[in-house]
Structure 1
């Protein structure tokens, strides 16, 4: 039976699975160095009362939060754009078919239902065509608040 090779998905997608594995001398050196004294320096410094840590992290966190919030808002605001574009593209043929169906109601003598069907098809077509405008208006209102 042939041996099956398992490749990590990430390695497969970036193409590194076919390259020969290179030995990283820097990583081997780091593995061989005893890192325990280096990791104890911040603990000892904080025990002695010296301030340890990055003080600029608070300002970076605030700006990072704003960036993430802005990006998330933009992604959510435009998540349904492909669906909206499909509905706008399909609305004319669908409205045409519904209006033709309304005309058949005229032929069968049901003029009330015919006018209602034609009117609803026209109104639905107009609302679907201007729905991207509504979405942009709501997005601008959300940004201003």
Structure 2
């Protein structure tokens, strides 16, 4: 007969019931940390210590820079998505307003309004593409 294990509902729902306990995790982490630090130190020569510290700081700088770029690149994504979503209704209303200018005899103003609404709609729809291009340019620099 199998042993019955009681699990709290909250632990079951967030998935922590099958993860190792903190004390077990600390023992494993300490063991791996000690082995990971001691093996390279045992194999290294006296001059390798400074270069190892420099490479760790350089790697940390690259990780922080990459994370910062990622956060900044996607900071305006919600605003961009909202603008893309409302651009069609707004452009439609502006174009209809341009058609009213035809009714009032101002055809030059009507064409200008309709063209500006169409161009604005296209640029707003392409703005996520522009942001991705700028992000790729930033990554390549």
Mark yes or no: TM-score above 0.5. Answer: yes
Point out which structure has higher relative CO (alpha carbons under 8 A, 6+ apart).
Answer: 2
SS at 1:129 equivalent: helix
CA deviations 1:102-132 (Å, max 9, x no partner) are 0110111111100100000000000000011
TM-score by length of 2: 0.62
1:78 equivalent to 2:74? Answer: yes
Question: Tell me, what secondary structure is at the counterpart of 2:75?
Answer: coil
Within-5 A mapping of 1:7-18 = none
Q: Distance in 2 between the 1:107 and 1:96 partners?
A: 17
Which ranges of structure 2 fall in alignment gaps of 5 or more residues?
Answer: 1-48
Q: How many residues align?
A: 93
Query: What are the equivalent positions in structure 2 for 1:3-82 lying under 5 Å apart?
Result: 55=50, 56-82=52-78
Tell me the distance in 1 between the aligned counterparts of 2:128 and 2:138: 15
Cα-Cα RMSD = 1.5
Structure 1: stretches of 5+ with no match in the other structure: 1-53
Match of 1:110 among 98, 103, 106: 106
Which residue in 2 is equivalent to 1:135? 131
Distance 1:119 1:77 in 2: 31
Where in structure 1 do 4 or more consecutive aligned residues deviate above 6 Å?
none
Secondary structure of 2:105's partner?
Answer: coil
Equivalent in the alignment of 1:95: 91
Cα shift at 1:139: 1.0
CA deviations 1:30-70 (Å, max 9, x no partner) are xxxxxxxxxxxxxxxxxxxxxxxx75433221111110000
